[in-house]
Every structure is written in structure tokens, then in C-alpha cells.
Amino acid sequence: MNGKLEFRCSKCGKLLNGATLDYSQKWLCSKCAADQTDVLYCERGCKVRAVDLDAGMSGDSKQAHQFLTEGEVYEVESLNVGGWISHIVLKEIPGQRFNTVHFVRCE
């Protein structure tokens, strides 16, 4: 476990690889989630599409326009589900955390 909490799907038990949860111990994996477009139910390796670069706070939008291409598909490296904001790190753009409002799942 390397000192980090491991989170598992509360339905099937699958390890939520690359996902961290700030306030919940129960979460569903990408296969068990009812809404198959919701980016919050992603783990490492899921594919997401950038869809709304103007969403979120002005800083979120500025960052999205700087690094993302609307309509482009990216691979999830990690996801942090917070209380009022969640962030996603993409394999193709290491070192940048994006607000999840800019994405939908596209598997």
C-alpha cells in the first residue's frame, strides 16, 4: 500500500487505481457507475474527452485553453474527487491538474 489509502469499488471490489477520495470511502468503479459519461467515476487508464474548456473558474478555463484541445481524447493518470472541486491528471500532460468539469468519459 506504500502509506497511501487504497480505494475499492463499493459494488464489485475493483481497486480504484489512481483515484483518491477526499470525503468518501465508498465509490464506484468506471464499470459499475450508472452514468457511464461521468468523469468522476474514472480510474487510471480510462479515456476522457475535453468538452467544455470555458467551464469552471476563470483560472480553470485559462489553464484548459492553454493545455487542452476541445474534442481531444486523453488518458487518465490520476483523479482526486474532492468535496466541491475534483481534479484530473492526464497521462499526456504530466504535472498539470485540471478541473474535471472540462471532461466526459468516452469509453
Assign domain 19-105 one CATH number from 2.30.30, 2.60.40, 1.10.8, 1.10.10. 2.30.30
pLDDT for 52 equals 93
For 99, how many CA atoms within 13 A lie in the half-sphere containing its CB? Answer: 20
Read off the pLDDT of residues 25-59 as tens digits, 9 standing for 90 and up. 788 999 999 998 999 999 999 999 999 999 999 99
Among the ranges given (3-12, 14-23, 30-39, 91-100), the one the predictor scored with the smallest mean pLDDT: 3-12
Whether residue 13 has pLDDT greater than 60: yes
Whether residue 60 has pLDDT greater than 70: yes
Question: In whole numbers, what is the pLDDT of the chain averaged over residues?
Answer: 91
CA distance 12 to 24: 17
Amino acid at 68: L
pLDDT for 1 equals 40
Cite the beta strand spans of the chain per DSSP E.
19-21, 47-50, 73-81, 87-90, 93-99, 103-105
Enumerate the domain spans of the chain: 19-105
pLDDT for 84 equals 84
pLDDT band at 23 (very low <50, low <70, confident <90, very high): confident
Among the ranges given (20-24, 36-40, 62-66), the one the predictor scored with the smallest mean pLDDT: 20-24
